[in-house]
A and B are shown apart, each in its own frame.
Chain A
Amino acid sequence: MDSTVMSTRCPSCGEPARPGDVFCEACGGRIGESTAGAAAVPPEPRAEAAARVTEPPGTEPRADSFAAEAMTRALTQWPVADLPTRADPAWPIAEPPTRAIPVRPVGESPTRAVQGGPAEPTTTAEPAGPLHESAPQAEPVWPGEAALDEAAVRSPDARTRITVTPVGGSVRDSQDGCVHCEYRDVDEDGYCLRCGLRQPTGRDRMADDVGVVAGVSDRGRVRESNADAMAFGFTGDAAQPEYVAAVVCDGVGSGAMAGQAAQNAADAGAAELLGCLADGLDARKASTMAIAAAGDAVNALAEPGPAEEDTPATTYVSAVVTGAEVTVAWLGDSRAYWVAPGARADAAGAHGGPGEGVTCLTTDHTVRNTYLADGMRAAHTLTRWLGADSDGTDPQVSTVRPDRAGVLVLCTDGLWGYLDDPGTLAARVLTHGSAAGAAAGLVGYALSEGGRDNVAVIAVPFPAGRRWP
């Protein structure tokens, strides 16, 4: 701690600084990069531990405290979207969608890996409980990944590891600076030192990246809260996953209930999907079972009685990506797109599956589509959805076998509402070099076009396990 050397003047403008000041009161410049705050962070006990925490090593301390605060805030706002707080290493091993997940023979207790922080770095990835004994001894798990939160579920034969990443919380990509103007410095309260805008917290912006799949969701520029949600994960080893699964939901309505319904559905759907796949069910069967589980998780929110106003409902689109095929299942108007290098859109590949260009794999369940044949002009109204007042969960499932490497994109209407030309999507996805880059880029595009609606985008490179086509 003897490195705590306080500069007493701002290095950029010479203004006097008080002890503890991180930014200059006058010019907003940073005062002393390696001051008290940095010294207060204990050293990481192990190399792996560094890989398990939210921020990569070297991240500034203010981001740390900000993320912790944001997560705490998110916890109070969203009691069901359980997030670990670094401040609470004894964060309970709770299963958010448990009450909604139908009883299953395996994995009924998706054991969540607690990111307990530096204190207990190696045990966190191991499932607790009886399964622990049968597990092979801990090796560094998913080295190099920076997931906020993962739930590790193990089937009884302990051959398959499932990693679910419910993205219900908040990750601020602090190293990127202000999300509004990209200025590098944000103050300790989360206000940008250039544009003054507060950085998004809680559900305002969610982002996660596990390499083989990544997603970003943003409140947008017009809505006051984010009712989009996403969850994703994979089975097996991160380097060679058997299945990659992802769910995107768009809560119906605008209240808190909408966001909660969407997050419940995404979390429960992704957990069930990966559980079924690990059990050996085929992707189509797993997809419909996951939708049933997601529906239960949404309906569990419904209050008994005639509360008409705030009934929980959401759209749902899921994808299962393997080394050979892509299975999508959906209810409502959230979409799945196939994007592959090439100029032509909507082209069939050599084997009848999607080839180069962009193909929308889903058909919106909206009034407009239902009556399109009659030439009626109808409002953008859902005809199928998940949750309250749904006339029976009747999802559509579709499987394609692409003939080349590409990227599967799941998104809500917050993105596709701005995609007049499918070529836009291809151009915007393929300029990036990673799933995380593509997801962030597409969300950024929606925001730059006005961000009228919440937006959620998940990108999954195909075939499963590829970091990028």
Chain B
Amino acid sequence: MEQPHFDVEVAQNRYLPRGADTVDAIVTVTAHPPAQELRPSVAVVILLDCSASMHRPSKLAAAKRAAHAAIDSLRDGAGFAIVAGTHETTMIYPDSSELAVAGDTTRYEAKRAVDEITAGGGTAMSRWLRAAGALFAGSEYELRHAILLTDGRNTSEQPEAVSAALTELQDTFRCDCRGVGTDWLVSELRQISEALLGTVDIVAEPDELVTDFAAMIERAMRKSVPDVTLRLWTPKEAAVTVVRQVDPAVLDLTAHQENAHVQACDYATGAWESETRAFQVRIAVPAAGVGDTMLACRVSVVDAAGEVLGRGKVLATWTDDPAYYGALDPQVAHYTGQVELATAIRHGLDAHRSGDPDTATHELGRAVALAAQSEHAETMKLLSKVVDVEDAETGRVRLKDSVDELDHMTLDTRSVVTTRRHGRS
């Protein structure tokens, strides 16, 4: 049987000054999945917001068209379901609590059922998520993917309800979240997508939903290695202090940790297609003597069955030579900067929203400088809709007199998207 395999590449400056106890590395993982015909089974649950606010004709109609596109993109044999979400949930298709199997008939029936949807009621997202979880739980599909579409805030329940549901459902399926318009909360959808290892994005125009949904389904269909885990072994008395995905987007994995063994922790990374992701890893180690070399971390990529698909090593060597320990690894420096960039944007936007223009200007200026430095053109473009850039290099900016809510939310949503290091071979 052909096995997927993963290349694991570690970028770091392994030289540390005397007494240093922090080891930083960027672990770049590239998946090489098996041939197409060996791909795992996949199921998709579409969670459509059908609360009263969706009633505006353009929105509901666009959501229906998007659902059609999604259904058409399902490959034969894929499991699927459409769920209408309000303050409760309603099965749109199928009407049983079991996933349908995609085929010509079920696709046709599903689209007819979608056409019948009407809007009305509140918004209780924890119930939507639990409904998806229940559908997946009763199935045997290896890849489990949900798409959540909303246009508003989670007003029909306390925030704790969502947190509790996420704790329960974490790592059982992936969920991509999409917000239509500007009446939803970035923080609410981000909380869901981070816990369920998905993406979050804003859809400015309802019409854009169609292409976006089709693309999401196609992407889900391409995923070929389910439930991939990053396993980090560390020496006794050492500890992993930071694990976050930094490419293609910043995603903190610390909460996705499970103690695999005495000296190893597992971090769920979800399903993979043929792709490359980078992870920032920081390890606190007991400082060893000058001249000593420590294996600070064994990195392995492990599948659901516990099979090791790839490995790498993070080392540490203590030295008194500043020529060695003084050099910053370019990859580590780059992604550290990307994480700072995302943080600066978020702090800046929060300050802006809470009426603190000084902090907003300072943080967004820093973000502009970091974006310029890393040649992050996409983020720079989004930043320039919120601030007037006077000098990008030094980060001298002025807040715009009026910022469009859409631009504000777009920058917020996409702040986590990083760029690769330019000039890398």
- Cβ contacts B311-347/A at 8 Å (1 or 0 each): 1000000011100000000000000000000000000
Stretch with Cβ within 8 A of B (4 or more), from A24-32, A79-87, A437-445: A24-32
| B292 in contact (CB, < 8 A) | yes
Q: Is the Cβ of B320 less than 8 Å from the Cβ of A224?
A: yes
Q: Is the Cβ of A27 less than 8 Å from the Cβ of B263?
A: yes
1-38 of chain A: CB within 8 A of chain B? 13, 15-16, 18, 25-28
With A13-B261, A16-B305, A18-B308 already in contact, the answer to whether A222 and B290 are too (CB < 8 A) is: yes
- Residues of chain B contacted by A191 (CB below 8 angstroms): 294-295
Select one of B234, B260, B289, B308 contacting A222, CB under 8 A. B289
How far does the Cβ of B130 sit from chain A's closest Cβ, in whole Å?
33
How far does the Cβ of A247 sit from chain B's closest Cβ, in whole Å?
25
| A451 in contact (CB, < 8 A) | yes
Assembly CA distance A18 to B300 (angstroms):
13
Total residue contacts A-B, CB cutoff 8 A = 80
Stretch with Cβ within 8 A of B (4 or more), from A193-201, A274-282, A284-292: A193-201
Q: Is the Cβ of B308 less than 8 Å from the Cβ of A197?
A: no
| A404 in contact (CB, < 8 A) | no
Q: Is the Cβ of B290 less than 8 Å from the Cβ of A27?
A: no
| A204 in contact (CB, < 8 A) | yes
| B37 in contact (CB, < 8 A) | no
- Residues of chain A contacted by B296 (CB below 8 angstroms): 196
Assembly CA distance A18 to B307 (angstroms):
8
207-234 of chain B: CB within 8 A of chain A? 231, 233-234
- Cβ contacts B168-188/A at 8 Å (1 or 0 each): 000000000000000000000
- Residues of chain B contacted by A224 (CB below 8 angstroms): 290-291, 319-321
Q: CB-nearest residue of chain A relative to B266? A: A26
- Residues of chain B contacted by A223 (CB below 8 angstroms): 290-291
Which one of A26, A196, A223, A224 has the highest number of Cβ atoms from chain B below 10 Å of its Cβ? A196
| B288 in contact (CB, < 8 A) | yes
Q: CB-nearest residue of chain B relative to A187? A: B295
Q: CB-nearest residue of chain A relative to B237? A: A195
| B406 in contact (CB, < 8 A) | no
231-288 of chain B: CB within 8 A of chain A? 231, 233-238, 260-264, 285, 288
Q: Is the Cβ of A221 less than 8 Å from the Cβ of B306?
A: no
- Residues of chain A contacted by B289 (CB below 8 angstroms): 220-222, 451
Q: Is the Cβ of B291 less than 8 Å from the Cβ of A204?
A: yes
| B293 in contact (CB, < 8 A) | yes
Assembly CA distance A79 to B263 (angstroms):
40
- Residues of chain A contacted by B320 (CB below 8 angstroms): 224
Q: CB-nearest residue of chain B relative to A9? A: B306
- Cβ contacts A213-257/B at 8 Å (1 or 0 each): 000000111111100000000000000000000000000000000
Q: Is the Cβ of B261 less than 8 Å from the Cβ of A194?
A: no
- Residues of chain B contacted by A27 (CB below 8 angstroms): 261-264
- Residues of chain B contacted by A194 (CB below 8 angstroms): 235-236, 263
- Residues of chain B contacted by A197 (CB below 8 angstroms): 235, 288, 292-295
- Residues of chain B contacted by A13 (CB below 8 angstroms): 261
With A195-B237, A198-B295, A224-B319 already in contact, the answer to whether A25 and B288 are too (CB < 8 A) is: no
Select one of A26, A196, A221 contacting B235, CB under 8 A. A196
Assembly CA distance A187 to B263 (angstroms):
15
Which one of A25, A187, A194, A204 has the highest number of Cβ atoms from chain B below 10 Å of its Cβ? A25
Q: Is the Cβ of A26 less than 8 Å from the Cβ of B264?
A: yes
Q: Is the Cβ of A198 less than 8 Å from the Cβ of B293?
A: yes
Select one of B18, B231, B294 contacting A196, CB under 8 A. B294
Q: CB-nearest residue of chain A relative to B307? A: A16
How far does the Cβ of A204 sit from chain B's closest Cβ, in whole Å?
7
Assembly CA distance A223 to B291 (angstroms):
6
Assembly CA distance A465 to B293 (angstroms):
40
How far does the Cβ of B304 sit from chain A's closest Cβ, in whole Å?
12
Interface size class of A (residues with CB under 8 A): 20 to 34
Assembly CA distance A187 to B233 (angstroms):
13
- Residues of chain A contacted by B263 (CB below 8 angstroms): 27-28, 194
- Residues of chain B contacted by A196 (CB below 8 angstroms): 234-236, 238, 285, 294-296
183-212 of chain B: CB within 8 A of chain A? none
Select one of B236, B264, B290 contacting A195, CB under 8 A. B236
Assembly CA distance A224 to B320 (angstroms):
8
Assembly CA distance A23 to B231 (angstroms):
15
Assembly CA distance A13 to B263 (angstroms):
12
Q: Is the Cβ of A25 less than 8 Å from the Cβ of B300?
A: yes
Q: Is the Cβ of B231 less than 8 Å from the Cβ of A25?
A: yes
How far does the Cβ of B278 sit from chain A's closest Cβ, in whole Å?
22
- Residues of chain A contacted by B294 (CB below 8 angstroms): 191, 195-198
- Residues of chain A contacted by B292 (CB below 8 angstroms): 180, 197-198, 221
- Residues of chain B contacted by A181 (CB below 8 angstroms): 236
Assembly CA distance A192 to B235 (angstroms):
8
- Residues of chain B contacted by A28 (CB below 8 angstroms): 233, 261, 263
Q: Is the Cβ of B291 less than 8 Å from the Cβ of A26?
A: no
- Residues of chain B contacted by A225 (CB below 8 angstroms): 291
Q: CB-nearest residue of chain B relative to A220? A: B289
- Residues of chain A contacted by B261 (CB below 8 angstroms): 13, 15, 26-28
22-66 of chain A: CB within 8 A of chain B? 25-28
Q: Is the Cβ of A15 less than 8 Å from the Cβ of B234?
A: no
Assembly CA distance A156 to B298 (angstroms):
58
How far does the Cβ of B317 sit from chain A's closest Cβ, in whole Å?
9
- Residues of chain B contacted by A219 (CB below 8 angstroms): 291
Select one of B231, B290, B300 contacting A221, CB under 8 A. B290
333-375 of chain B: CB within 8 A of chain A? none
Select one of A15, A25, A192, A195 contacting B311, CB under 8 A. A25
Q: CB-nearest residue of chain B relative to A14? A: B306
Q: Is the Cβ of B308 less than 8 Å from the Cβ of A25?
A: yes
How far does the Cβ of A193 sit from chain B's closest Cβ, in whole Å?
8
Assembly CA distance A192 to B288 (angstroms):
13
- Residues of chain A contacted by B300 (CB below 8 angstroms): 25
Q: CB-nearest residue of chain A relative to B288? A: A197
Assembly CA distance A223 to B319 (angstroms):
9
Which one of B260, B261, B296 has the highest number of Cβ atoms from chain A below 10 Å of its Cβ? B261
How far does the Cβ of A47 sit from chain B's closest Cβ, in whole Å?
38
Q: CB-nearest residue of chain A relative to B292? A: A197
Assembly CA distance A16 to B231 (angstroms):
14
Assembly CA distance A318 to B340 (angstroms):
61
Assembly CA distance A223 to B18 (angstroms):
11
- Residues of chain B contacted by A204 (CB below 8 angstroms): 291
Select one of B233, B237, B306 contacting A16, CB under 8 A. B306
Assembly CA distance A181 to B260 (angstroms):
23
Q: CB-nearest residue of chain B relative to A189? A: B295
Q: CB-nearest residue of chain B relative to A450? A: B289
How far does the Cβ of B398 sit from chain A's closest Cβ, in whole Å?
51
Assembly CA distance A222 to B18 (angstroms):
9
Assembly CA distance A378 to B306 (angstroms):
64
How far does the Cβ of A192 sit from chain B's closest Cβ, in whole Å?
8
How far does the Cβ of A179 sit from chain B's closest Cβ, in whole Å?
11
- Residues of chain A contacted by B321 (CB below 8 angstroms): 224
110-147 of chain B: CB within 8 A of chain A? none
- Residues of chain B contacted by A222 (CB below 8 angstroms): 18, 289-291
Assembly CA distance A222 to B290 (angstroms):
5
How far does the Cβ of B316 sit from chain A's closest Cβ, in whole Å?
8
How far does the Cβ of B211 sit from chain A's closest Cβ, in whole Å?
42
Question: Can you name 27 A-B pairs with beta carbons within 8 Å?
Answer: A13-B261, A15-B306, A25-B231, A25-B300, A26-B231, A26-B233, A27-B263, A28-B233, A180-B288, A189-B295, A191-B294, A194-B263, A195-B236, A195-B237, A196-B238, A196-B285, A196-B295, A196-B296, A197-B235, A197-B288, A197-B293, A198-B292, A198-B293, A219-B291, A222-B291, A224-B319, A224-B320
Extra inter-chain contacts (10) besides given A26-B233, A195-B235, A220-B289, CB under 8 Å: A16-B307, A25-B231, A28-B261, A195-B236, A195-B237, A196-B294, A197-B292, A197-B294, A198-B292, A221-B292
Chain A interface residues (CB < 8 Å from chain B): 13, 15-16, 18, 25-28, 180-181, 187, 189, 191-192, 194-198, 204, 219-225, 451
Q: Which 9 residue pairs are nearest across A and B when measured between Cβ atoms?
A: A196-B235, A221-B289, A191-B295, A224-B291, A198-B293, A196-B295, A27-B261, A196-B294, A26-B261
